[in-house]
Amino acid sequence: VHPDPERGAAVARDDRAHVFHSWSAQALIAPVPVAGASGSHFWDYEGNRYLDFSSQLVNVNIGYQHPKLVAAIQEAAARQCTIAPSFADESRSEAARLIAERAPGDLDRVFFTNGGAEATENAMRMARLHTGRHKVLATYRSYHGATAGSITATGDPRRWANEPGMPGVVHFWGPYPYRSPFHATTDEQECERALQHLRDLIMVEGPSTIAAVMLETVVGTNGILVPPDGYLAGVREICDEHGIVWIADEVMAGFGRCGEWFAVDHWGVTPDLICFAKGVNSGYVPLGGVVISAPIAQTFEQRAFPGGLTYSGHPLACASAVASIRIFEEEGILENVRKVSDTVIAPRLAEIAEKHPSVGEVRGLGFFWAIELVRDRETREPLVPFNASGAAAGPMNDFAAACRAEGLWPFVHFNRTHVVPPCTTTAEEMAEGLDMLDRALEVADRSAT
């Protein structure tokens, strides 16, 4: 790490003058100029180095600048930088085969996109054409992307300013034991009542109007909500009963985040469509896609699929997915996630939950954990209100600043911080990061009773 504040200032200046940033009021932000990154760390031009507990947007699963992945992209660039989706391309063919081989059940074909939103958008399109129905059911506590249909399917407040959006989306409640919408007191009750709620919704919306139920297998940004055992199997059963397509959005939960290739593997269930992006190649080149079941693929055997993208199955992106999948296997990255989760994250977060009055609950699996912060453990009043911003988000901003002062880059959303580092993070780094988090939580404790 060689500090170069002048260069950093120039980067920041051009950024503020010319870059228009996502989700932001442009005058109210000061993006940190990043000078470099390696493994689980990145650093700025001032010489501040951060252990990244966010994996950026929960996508850098293989860590930064993995030498083998960088080399694979360089080789692919030398060989073939671009070719239209209508050709057969070596990297694309291989990426599709490797993904299909790892996908559950009869999910055997891949439609490639450039990212997650295009994946959910096209999955909804496939479900509608396959069923000849138009409605899509999705949960309130969800994020599915920022394109027109995907942001309408999104349940969280990012949808609000984009409404009315795409017609035909109906939202419902998924399971969330800690703040049960069903007044359940056990996981079993939560599971049973959440499934009954979905059945009731389908009854009154009309099963013959519903194309798809779209769910994040494990809800990501909206809380790391791990479904109770039996929930996804129940969703499968309900969808089968009514000929509804089950779309699993694994843009965040897939490719190692839950210690599996696909998060559904954790419960041994098979959706009809799986959306992926992020961890498939850790964003070294933009890539996403939809893995398609045999019956849905069959729908488009003799009938054209009315969708496409200039960069669908981009050779560089696909080559990086091939290399990333190989590296995961060569380096035992799924095994690392399971082991470090069981031996470091789970026990250490249990201690943290015990110790800090501001910690209401810790939950998760793999390298996909949430710490839910509260003002009061009895009433479970959140440390900051739902969708808090500005001054109302003060206590969370103070907590995040305390993390950064420790050298930890946290993921913060509403009243939660998520422990979502690269899947290559070692036990030692994880322990070090959790120690930093532990100290930073003392700041949050000051706002709790």
Q: Taking the complex as a whole, how short is the minimal distance between the CB of residue 406 and ligand PLP, in angstroms?
A: 25
Min dist CB 168 to ligand PLP, Å, is 19
Q: Partners of 292 in the beta sheet?
A: 109, 273
Nearer to ligand PLP, 160 or 380 (CB): 160
Q: Which of 407, 374, 415, 441 is nearest to 53 (CA)?
A: 407
Per-residue binding letters, 235-254, with ligand PLP (x by CB under 6 A): --------------x-xx--
Output DSSP code: residue 327: H
Strands 49-52 and 408-409 come out as parallel
Region near ligand PLP per CB under 6 A, out of 26-34, 169-177, 216-224, 314-322: 216-224
8 Å CB contact between 258 and 363: no
Amino acid 387 reads N
Helix 231-242 vs helix 187-205: crossing angle, to nearest 10: 20
- Residue 411 makes CB contacts below 8 A (sequence gap 6+) with 53, 54, 58, 417, 418, 419, 420
How many residues in the shown chain lie near ligand PLP by CB under 6 A?
16
Cα–Cα separations (whole angstroms), residue 280 to 218, 275, 283, 290:
17, 11, 8, 12
**Span from 195-203, 214-222, 315-323, 365-373 in contact with ligand PLP (CB under 6 A):** 214-222
Cβ 221 to ligand PLP, closest distance in Å? 6
174 makes contact with ligand PLP (CB under 6 A): no
Single out the residue of 8, 33, 63, 115 in contact with ligand PLP (rule: CB under 6 A): 115
CB 322 within 8 A of CB 98: yes
Angstrom distance (rounded) from CA 107 to CA 122? 16
Cβ proximity to ligand PLP: between 62 and 184 the closer is 62
- Gyration radius of the chain over CA positions: 22
> Among 37-45, 109-117, 228-236, 412-420, which window interacts with ligand PLP (CB under 6 A)?
109-117
**The one segment of 80-88, 97-105, 143-151, 362-370 that binds ligand PLP by CB under 6 A:** 143-151
Whose Cβ is closer to ligand PLP: residue 285's or residue 444's?
A: 285
CB closer to ligand PLP, 117 vs 327: 117
Does residue 145 bind ligand PLP (CB under 6 A)?
yes
**Member of 99, 126, 218, 277 binding ligand PLP (CB under 6 A):** 277
Per CB under 6 A, contacts with ligand PLP among 21-80 are 57
* Interaction between residue 144 and ligand PLP (CB under 6 A): yes
Written as one letter, the residue type at 176 is Y
Comparison of 12 and 267: residue with beta carbon closer to ligand PLP: 267
Select 55 or 358, whichever has its Cβ closest to ligand PLP: 55
Identify which of residues 54 and 425 has a Cβ nearer to ligand PLP in the complex: 54
The smaller minimum CB distance to ligand PLP, of residues 104 and 283, is found at 283
The bridge status of strand 41-44 relative to strand 411-413 is: unpaired
For ligand PLP, which is the closer residue by CB, 145 or 259? 145
Give the nearest distance from C-beta 431 to ligand PLP in angstroms.
Answer: 27
Angle between helices 315-330 and 90-102 in degrees, nearest 10: 40
Residue 216 found at the interface with ligand PLP (CB under 6 A): yes
Alpha-carbon distance of 311 to 237, in angstroms, equals 36
Count of residues for the chain? 449
Least distance in Å: CB of 251 to ligand PLP? 3
Q: Which residue is nearest to ligand PLP (CB)?
A: 116
Closest among 154, 161, 265 to 219, alpha carbons compared: 154
**282 contributes a contact to ligand PLP by CB under 6 A:** no
CB of 263 to ligand PLP, least distance (A): 10
CA distance 190 to 312: 40
Rounded to a whole number of angstroms, the minimum distance from the CB of residue 207 to ligand PLP is 26
Nearest to 345 by CA among 324, 323, 320, 362: 362
How crowded is residue 207: how many other Cβ atoms within 10 Å of its Cβ? 16
Binding site for ligand PLP (CB under 6 A): 57, 115-117, 120, 143-145, 216, 220-221, 249, 251-252, 277, 288
